[in-house]
Amino acid sequence: MSGKILAITSGKGGVGKTFVAANLAAALAERGEQVLVLDADLGLANLDVVLNLHPKITLHDVFTGKATLEQAILPAPGGFSVLLAGSGLVEYSRLTPQVREQLVDIIAQVRPRFDRILLDTGAGISDVVLHAISLADDVLVIVTPEPTSMTDAYATIKVLATLQKRRRIRLIVNQVSALGEGRTIRNQLQLVVDRFVAPQLKAEGDGEPLVLELMGEIPSDPAVREAVKKRGLLLLGQPGCPAAQAVSAAAARMVA
């Protein structure tokens, strides 16, 4: 059996993408899934910081033949596994044929071993980010109510629809200030997509609608800032807080 691959991405940085990815993995593991989070932000990795891990072996060592893939897969707090990347490695800032092939090979090796693989990509629409997303079955875009985040999320969705022919893109709206704000933002993005992207797809001969599916909304919560400062998982430190419960609800929808 092959595990489901979900790319977690965002139009801009600073929206809590890696934090959501790590806590979502813990919530999925709670539901009995074997989960791997692969840090696909190859040059600016920070999954290790969020989880307070200090890896001696990273994907870079696997790519260069200094270590095996088995040695690089580490247990993380929360009951899931991680495959961490290095930070500040300029050679991964662009997609070379070698990086392309190595990432494909890694995915092929880990896919049969896990129920679900979360690819924590970089932000934006660089060729490295888009290649990582192209390897996934589904895409989850993290967006906040901030106007720049929404604008960049729309740009990302448009690129994924036109270049990768994605017709179903999942959303989690992070840092909402009121219940229902996530649904409002999803509807706003869907309206813009229907108005500007759908006609372009139709003109290219593809009339299948592009649907944005809201997987959940995560409220602004002081517990999140505290967890980030402590470099710990919210679901372990304060599982009863509103943000943790929202992440668990998103995981439940994903499993269902």
For residue 90, what pLDDT is reported?
Answer: 63
- Contact in structure between 149 and 116 (CB atoms under 8 Å): no
Axis crossing angle, helix 17-30 with helix 242-255, rounded to the nearest 10: 60
For Cα atoms 176, 29, 137, give the angle at the middle one, nearest 5 degrees: 75
Any residues with CB less than 8 A from the CB of 133 and at least 6 apart, and which? 7, 9, 119, 121, 139, 160, 164
Q: Give me the residues of the chain with pLDDT under 50, please.
A: none
What are the extents of the domains in the chain? 4-255
* Integer Cα distance of 175 and 224 in angstroms: 10
How far apart CA 21 and CA 118 sit, in angstroms, is 7
Q: Which pairing describes strands 73-76 and 80-83: parallel, antiparallel, or unpaired?
A: antiparallel
d(CA 201, CA 90): 35
Residues paired with residue 37 on neighbouring β-strands, in sequence order = 82, 118
Separation of first and last alpha carbons in the chain: 18
Class of residue 46 by CB neighbours under 10 A (exposed 0-12, middle 13-18, buried 19+): middle
Gap between the Cα atoms of 11 and 125, Å rounded: 7
- 164 three-state secondary structure: coil
Task: Give the pLDDT score at 76.
Answer: 97
Task: Note the pLDDT of residue 2.
Answer: 80
Query: How is residue 248 written in tokens?
Result: 């668990």
Written out in words, the top-level CATH class of the domain with range 4-255 is alpha beta
Separation between Cα atoms, residue 38 and residue 73, nearest integer Å: 9
Of 251, 256, 252, the C-alpha closest to 25 is: 251
In the block, which residue shows the tokens 């991405």? 9
| Mean predicted lDDT score pLDDT of the chain | 94
